[in-house]
Amino acid sequence: MQTHKAKRVDITIEKIMLSRLTDAIEKADVSGYSILPVFGGSGRSGAWTREDNIGRGDGMVQVVCIIKPGRLDALLDSAFEVVDRHIGVVTITDCEVLRAERF
């Protein structure tokens, strides 16, 4: 089957920053993304789990975008303005998609 090259960007960020990040993603003309809950983890600020959260902004979420390679720089520039000072991880991986026109 014919496949097409794409980039997958995973951004793990504090939940409180989520709406700011999705605004930035949309500003970069990326309309498709998925938001996944993160159940817990550990980092420089120590270990945490969702069970220990009491506030609306506690915890982390992961935003996954799959885009055409040519749109990567615009997305990263826009997203970086949000994630720059904050806890989180940004990863970029090569992937392939079946329907290129959707990305």
Partner 1 sequence: MDVFSLAAETLVTPIVLSFVLGLFAALVRSDLSIPEAVAKGMSLYLLFAIGFKGGVSLADHGIELTLGLTLLAGVLLSAIIPFVAYAVLRLMSGLNALDAAAVAGHYGSISIVTFVASTSVLESQGIMYDGYMVAVAAAMEAPAILSALWLVTRTKGGGTMEPGLWREIMLNGSIVLLIGAFLIGMITGEDGLKEIAPLVIAPFKGVLCLFLLDMGIIAGRGLRKGRGVLDAGAIAFGIVMPMIGAIFGLGAAMLLGIPLGSALLLMVLSASASYIAVPAAMRVALPEANPSVYLTLSLGVTFPFNLVIGIPLYLALATVAIGG
Q: Which residues bind partner 1 (CB under 8 A)?
A: 14, 16-17, 20, 45-48, 50-58, 85-87
Q: How far is the CB of 43 from partner 1 (least distance, A)?
A: 11
CB of 24 to partner 1, least distance (A): 12
HEC secondary structure over the chain? CCCEEEEEEEEEEEHHHHHHHHHHHHHCCCCCCEEEECCEEEECCEEEEHHHCCCCCCCEEEEEEEECHHHHHHHHHHHHHHHCCCCEEEEEEEEEECCHHHC
Nearer to partner 1 by Cβ, of 5 and 86: the residue is 86
Q: How far is the CB of 6 from partner 1 (least distance, A)?
A: 31
